[in-house]
């Protein structure tokens, strides 16, 4: 089960990195060039993240700025502390991620939402090591495993509902779930 989940995580993250490069580096810069858009900061160095918070602040700058402007700052101005405001941003992001996944798979499950919410307490785990390199490795491991685990959950539910498989890359999602 672990080996299959690692294989799935590897393929999932390769696809995620390719889509990130195509969308954030190629497509958005082409659109920015055509529209003569001057501010081309679509991402920062998220691959060097030493915390989950830094990753979420730097991997998608337009969404981060929108969440900060329309959710985080107004909630802080209402008198809530920063932790609760950040939690609200994660909840909103989890709902949005779940909405996107439900549109893609044509079914509603809590997996994307729960994975997003689990990143709040897991950010404390990343803060435990002292060395930057170790923190960066922990962030990468969390990204790799959470995406692979999420894809396997959706593949299992898709098979249960529709009776067929989707892109499992030769990995039997039913076997992954049943062997645990």
Any domain includes 19: yes
Quick one: pLDDT band at residue 145, thresholds 50, 70, 90? confident
What one-character-per-residue DSSP string does 9-37 give?
Answer: HHHHHHHHHHHHIIIIIIIHHHHHHHTT-
**Polymer length of the chain:** 180
pLDDT at residue 67, as a whole number? 94
Is 127 part of any domain?
yes
Answer yes or no: is 85 within a domain: no
Angle at 146 between CA 162 and CA 128, to 5 degrees: 160
Gap between the terminal Cα atoms of the chain: 7
86 part of a folded domain = no
> What's the structural domain count of the chain?
1
Summarised one tens digit per residue, pLDDT across range 39-94 is: 888 999 999 999 888 998 999 999 999 999 999 999 999 999 988 998 899 899 99
Residue 75 lies in a domain: no
| Catalytic entry in 7, 25, 70, 97 | 97
Residue 51: count other Cβ atoms within 10 Å of its Cβ. Answer: 16
What number is the average pLDDT over the span 22-51?
92
Q: Do 61 and 41 touch, CB atoms closer than 8 A?
A: yes
Please check whether residue 128 lies inside any domain of the structure.
yes
Above pLDDT 70, what percent of the chain? 90
Based on the residue annotation, tell me whether 64 is a catalytic residue of this protein.
no
Residue 134 lies in a domain: yes
Instruction: Tabulate helix, strand, coil % of the chain (nearest 5).
Output: 75, 0, 25
CA separation, residue 172 to residues 12, 97, 121, 152 (Å):
14, 24, 30, 9
The residue behind tokens 């390199």 is 133
Q: What is the pLDDT of residue 48?
A: 94
List of residues 6+ apart from 102 with CB closer than 8 A: 108, 109
Q: Which domain holds residue 10?
A: 1-63+99-178
In a domain, 90, yes or no: no
Please give the Cα distance from 129 to 16 (Å, whole number): 27
Phi, psi of 44, rounded to the nearest 5 degrees: -115, -160
């Amino acid at each position: 089960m672990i080996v299959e989940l690692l294989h799935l995580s590897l393929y999932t993250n390769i696809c995620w990195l390719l889509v990130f490069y195509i969308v954030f580096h190629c497509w958005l810069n082409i659109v920015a060039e055509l529209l003569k858009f001057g501010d081309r900061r679509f991402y920062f160095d998220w691959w060097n993240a030493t915390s989950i918070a830094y990753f979420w602040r730097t991997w998608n700058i337009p969404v981060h700025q929108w969440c900060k402007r329309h959710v985080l700052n107004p909630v802080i101005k209402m008198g809530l502390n920063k932790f609760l405001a950040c939690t609200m941003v994660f909840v909103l992001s989890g709902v949005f991620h779940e909405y996107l996944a439900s549109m893609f798979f044509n079914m509603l499950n809590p997996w994307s939402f729960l994975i997003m919410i689990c990143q709040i307490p897991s950010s404390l785990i990343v803060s435990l090591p002292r060395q930057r390199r170790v923190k960066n490795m922990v962030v990468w491991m969390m990204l790799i495993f959470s995406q692979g685990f999420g894809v396997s959950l959706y593949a299992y539910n898709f098979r249960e509902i529709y009776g067929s498989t989707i892109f499992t890359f030769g990995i039997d999602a039913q076997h992954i779930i049943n062997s645990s």
